[in-house]
Amino acid sequence: AQSVTQLGSHVSVSEGALVLLRCNYSSSVPPYLFWYVQYPNQGLQLLLKYTTGATLVKGINGFEAEFKKSETSFHLTKPSAHMSDAAEYFCAVSGIGASGSARQLTFGSGTQLTVLP
């Protein structure tokens, strides 16, 4: 089984401030972790992903996330928020099951990021 918990359904930051969006996961197999962003009235697009290897992953638009196995976390950060970052962000998990079958993508409930001028 697998699940994702995103702490904070709404986060507000000032323009230029640090963005920190929290994601914790649960998985019985090594996880593949993703962050997607959804701008108003649009579909989701991939920000970044972790599958194997380096635990600090960099994505588009200056975002990065660090996979911490001991904390079962994959928090998303950006050093300096921009007005254009205002959107909804989703953390998601998948992986390879014990039988070798691929697991479906499971999404968290999302975090709405507001950037204040």
Partner 1 sequence: NAGVTQTPKFQVLKTGQSMTLQCAQDMNHEYMSWYRQDPGMGLRLIHYSVGAGITDQGEVPNGYNVSRSTTEDFPLRLLSAAPSQTSVYFCASSYSYRGVGNEQFFGPGTRLTVL
Binding mask 83-102 for partner 1 (x = CB under 8 A): -------x---xxx-----x
Site for partner 1 (CB under 8 A): which residue of 17, 59, 64, 105? Answer: 105
Site for partner 1 (CB under 8 A): which residue of 24, 51, 72, 77? Answer: 51
Burial class (CB within 10 angstroms; exposed 0-12, middle 13-18, buried 19+) of 63: buried
67 binds partner 1 (CB under 8 A): no
Residues 22-41 touching partner 1, rule: CB under 8 A, are 32, 36, 41
43 binds partner 1 (CB under 8 A): yes
Q: How many residues bind partner 1 (CB under 8 A)?
A: 25
Nearer to partner 1, 51 or 72 (CB): 51
Q: What is the 3-state secondary structure (H, E, C) of the chain?
A: CEEEEEECCEEEEECCCCEEEEEEEEECCCEEEEEEEECCCCCEEEEEEECCCCCEEECHHHCEEEEECCCCEEEEEECCCCHHHCEEEEEEEEEECCCCCEEEEEECCCEEEEEEC
Q: Which residues bind partner 1 (CB under 8 A)?
A: 4, 9, 32, 36, 41-46, 49, 51, 90, 94-96, 102-110
